[in-house]
Amino acid sequence: MNEKEILRHVDHTLLSQEAVWDEIRQVCDDAVKYDTASVCIPPSYVKQAAEYVGGRVPICTVIGFPNGYETTAVKEFETKDAIANGADEIDMVINIGWLKDRKYDQIEEEIRILKNACGSKVLKVIIETCLLTDEEKVKMCEIVTRSGADYIKTSTGFSKAGATFDDISLFADHVGGNVKMKAAGGISSMEDAEKFLELGADRLGTSRIVKIVKTEEENPAGRNL
């Protein structure tokens, strides 16, 4: 798998609390240049970024991020607002406390409500695998499969750990054929990116893959891939 193929699966991401417009604009430029799957940015920058890129790359943003414990009504409003501002893809965080409390019906209903708010736009469901047992991960595979969401996603990148190969393998064994998988958090090498894709991930949430390619272009003699 070559770099261009890997880049087509990357949600080029900048979600730092300190991110300013000049940085957001740069990741948008990079996403367009390297033909990534999307650019994933904070909701407050969606409208400006959508106007800036003019449809050259899909705009992804996050809802209920990073903790997921907002009410469903708040998440629904956030989703509708983001889409009105030009978002093409929504990455929502589940209520992890509800999962621990086995409130499975409430989780599924929330995802359904957000998918309805998305309409034809893509909805990805972040379950924060580092906080879950394998049993809880499997249960979320079942819930996401029934909910109508487009993707199940490993992590926010803001908790104890990010994506693991084991989690993507577990997802692959338990999600329905209607659900794609996104690995996110801690993906720091081209080799890891390729491995996640080989295991069945369709998207990779990361900023580092584009940075690796840019570094190679600037220092071709130092290429070590």
Q: Could you list the active site residues? A: 91, 153, 182
On the CB side of 156, how many CA atoms lie within 13 Å of its CA?
Answer: 21
Bridge-based pairing state of the strands 38-41 and 89-93: unpaired
Q: Which residues touch 67 (CB under 8 Å, ≥6 apart)?
A: 93, 96
DSSP state of 132: S
Tokens of 150: 């487009």
d(CA 200, CA 7): 15
φ, ψ (nearest 5 deg) of residue 34: -100, 5
